[in-house]
Amino acid sequence: MKVRKIYCPYCTLLMEYIGTERIQLGRTGWIIGDWDNLLSGALTTSIYECPRCGRLEFFRYKKTKRKKDDTGRNI
């Protein structure tokens, strides 16, 4: 994987690559509990952090095909 050079929009410092994590999709509900989490899967992301202010930036690790809406824009 190629590490990007990303600058913090607030501090203008080069952000540090933290690593790649899987972020759980879905939510926990009162009636169905954690089933939504289990069925929704996870999104693999690359995480960057600003060393000064602590801002985090998340980027999708692998590109997937996106669906198009009625206007033809990517959603």
pLDDT in tens, the chain (75 residues): 678 899 999 999 999 999 998 887 766 666 666 655 566 677 889 999 999 999 999 998 765 555 555 445 554
| The pLDDT value given to residue 54 | 94
Q: Which two tokens stand for residue 41?
A: 């899967």
Give the start-to-end residue ranges of the domains of the chain.
16-60
Instruction: State pTM to two decimals.
Output: 0.63
Contact in structure between 11 and 53 (CB atoms under 8 Å):
yes
Amino acid in the structure at residue 51: P
Cα–Cα distance for residue pair 17/6, rounded to 1 Å: 9
**What's the rounded Cα separation, in Å, for the pair 44 and 32?**
25
Whole-number Å distance between alpha carbons of 23 and 27: 12
